[in-house]
Homo-oligomer: A and B are copies of this chain.
Amino acid sequence: MPVYLNQDDALAIWRDALSASVRSDGPDLSSRQMAILMTVYTQPPPHTVRGLSDSLNISKPAISRALDRLGQLGFVRRRRDDYDRRSVQVQRTVKGAVFLSEFADLVSDAGRELESPTPFEAGTPAEQLLSDEEF
């Protein structure tokens, strides 16, 4: 079921989770690598290079390299497709599942720790983001 987030909450959650992730000493994946990883783990298989390339609008070589990196981290595995041996299927691993699970916890925590911080202010969202900028 839907979750309704206003801009402030959306940004606060993203900031907190992202900051925690950046601050941590875990491997820092690029946005693309993270998007690929999450797609592989939360969308129905099979996942191919071509499919990921199309669905994320990323060039094939970039996908291939990202899989190298994710593979060497142990977050993903390649397996040749036996029915079409040109094709490669990207498979999940325990290590990748654990990593994503912990990341999901960061996001959940960020949401749970939201205090209602919005002390009523007027203006459009973008204006609020700028409320204390000096020009």
Task: List residues of A whose CB falls within 8 A of some B CB.
Answer: 1-15, 17-19, 21-23, 28-32, 34-35, 38-39, 41-42, 44-45, 55-58, 91-94, 96-98, 100-101, 103-105, 107-108, 111-116, 125-127, 129-130, 132-134
Collect the chain B residues with CB atoms within 8 Å of residue A133's CB.
91-93, 97
Which B residues lie within 8 Å of A107 (CB)? 5, 10-11, 13-14
* Distance of A98 Cα from B124 Cα, bound (Å): 11
- Count of this chain's copies in the oligomeric assembly: 2
CB-CB under 8 A for A3 and B111, given A19-B56, A28-B31, A92-B130: yes
Q: How far is the CB of A31 from chain B (nearest CB, A)?
A: 6
